[in-house]
A and B are shown apart, each in its own frame.
Chain A
Amino acid sequence: MTSVTSRSRKAGCLSSLDLDELLAGDLSGGEREALLRGHLETCPACSGRLAQFAAVEPPPASASLRSEARRPPRERVSSGTRRRVVAALGVFGCAAAAVLIVSFRAPITTERTKGSLALTIFIKGSAGSVESVQGEGTLHPGDEMRFSLTTAAVGHAVVVGLDAAPSVTVYAPTAPAAQAVPVESAGSHVLPGSIIADETGGAERVFAVLCPTPRDPQAVRAAALAALAHADGRPDAVTALGSGCLETSVLLHKVARPR
């Protein structure tokens, strides 16, 4: 019989994670660092491993990686033709607009809500049909989205999309550097602007955030980035942004359009 792997680490010895954290300076002089360094002084095996780890020569950052790091954050998530903001209703056309108006007036009974905020996404497909999505739905590259909030509270709204790239894009307000969208009365409100879905496949979670005072959309985006990072880049695993405001979300599954 063969032993597939033998655990050579002795009790009390440092793990590879311990050693990497020490080398990176993650522990910043705390009690744990003192404990680990105390062990290193008495353990030739661990100090030898630390020396081996320190001797590793990493590859330099590639030119494309450096180039990406130099780009302003807004360009990173919206470069090229990934997403285009389209003037409200102008592209939808009259027939679609009529469908939307009917939809907005219809009572909404199945929306996913948290507190007193609900998000509905209206999706216009390439054939011109419009469907409303609450909770979870399907999206195709090239589809056009508009966002409707139903709320019992007034406030200031921001909508962000978290995708599987992973990246986060501010969907509302649509203009760069604009303030959060004011919601001045209870009821349903269609937010201005629309978004064209890009080619990024997989799950995308769209969050609506409603705060009592204007919140910088970039702060909401930063919270979404942190939440996405915490979920290992999986939008479907993000359940909240921790903004301290009313939040709700819709999960979209982006798939290629059937031929």
Chain B
Amino acid sequence: MGESQNFDACYDRYSRSVYRRALKILGDTESARDVTQEVFLRVVRCGGQVPPEPTPTSWLYRVTTNLCLNRLRDQRRQKARLAEAFDPDLNVSANGDSRVIVTDMLSRIPEELQDIAIYFFLDELTYDEIAPLMGLSRRTISNRLASFREVVARMFPNERLAS
């Protein structure tokens, strides 16, 4: 099988999960499309194969998350988006769109806490599932989530994070 065919097979196999994930984090199709292309460009430049550890999908999760966070950081610089994010009329219910709220919060919290917040709140992964994904210990995951909660409590005193 040639390199181009290898790439086609790889794209067919994994693009759905990469795109879905980017769409979930970013919330708009155009940005999700761009991130999907960026992720697979990295795959091409890394030799055309998705690294298998712990699984190819988990490697793609990390890369997709990082690229989405980069994009959100760029968006953070846009005052209009910030204004929209902290619109006091924003109606959030207990079963509201968690993506909107978490990603809006992400634009205001320290970078080292952002990816873990996505895995926990958006993906609803457990500590034991996040640890191998990020290559960190369960204790570190726990500590960082505690820090995330403290930051959110300080910055958004009227909000409550689900435990």
Contacting pair B98 A17 (CB below 8 A): no
User: How many chain-B residues does the 8 Å CB contact rule pick out?
Assistant: 60
Contact with B along A43-79 (1 / 0, CB 8 A): 0000000000110111101101110111011001100
Contacting pair B44 A68 (CB below 8 A): yes
CB distance from A137 to the nearest CB of B (A): 25
- In chain B, residues 13-39, which have Cβ atoms closer than 8 Å to a Cβ of chain A? 13-21, 23, 33, 36-37
Picked from B11, B15, B33, B62, the residue with its CB within 8 Å of the CB of A232 is B62
Q: Cβ of B11: which chain A residues have Cβ within 8 Å of it?
A: 61
| Given A7-B124, A16-B123, A17-B125: A2 and B159 interface contact (C-beta under 8 Å) | yes
| Given A3-B94, A21-B55, A230-B51: A59 and B45 interface contact (C-beta under 8 Å) | no
Contact with A along B111-139 (1 / 0, CB 8 A): 00000000001111110010001000000
Q: Cβ of B18: which chain A residues have Cβ within 8 Å of it?
A: 58
User: How many angstroms from the CA of A16 to the CA of B8 in the assembled complex?
Assistant: 24
Q: With an 8 A cutoff between CB atoms, is A101 at the interface?
A: no
Q: Cβ of A233: which chain B residues have Cβ within 8 Å of it?
A: 42, 46, 63
Picked from B19, B47, B98, B129, the residue with its CB within 8 Å of the CB of A58 is B19
Contacting pair B58 A5 (CB below 8 A): no
| Main DSSP-derived SS at the B contact region | helix
| Given A17-B123, A26-B55, A58-B19: A6 and B46 interface contact (C-beta under 8 Å) | no
Q: With an 8 A cutoff between CB atoms, is B84 at the interface?
A: no
Q: Cβ of A27: which chain B residues have Cβ within 8 Å of it?
A: 55
Contacting pair B94 A6 (CB below 8 A): yes
Q: With an 8 A cutoff between CB atoms, is A24 at the interface?
A: yes
Contacting pair B3 A70 (CB below 8 A): yes
Contacting pair B47 A53 (CB below 8 A): no
| Given A61-B40, A66-B4: A1 and B159 interface contact (C-beta under 8 Å) | yes
Give 14 CB contacts A-B under 8 Å: A2-B92, A3-B160, A4-B101, A5-B161, A6-B94, A9-B124, A15-B123, A24-B17, A26-B56, A53-B20, A59-B36, A73-B48, A228-B46, A233-B42
Contacts A26-B57, A56-B20 aside, 14 further interface pairs with beta carbons under 8 A come to: A1-B159, A3-B159, A4-B102, A5-B161, A8-B124, A17-B58, A24-B14, A66-B7, A76-B45, A166-B42, A225-B46, A229-B46, A229-B47, A232-B63
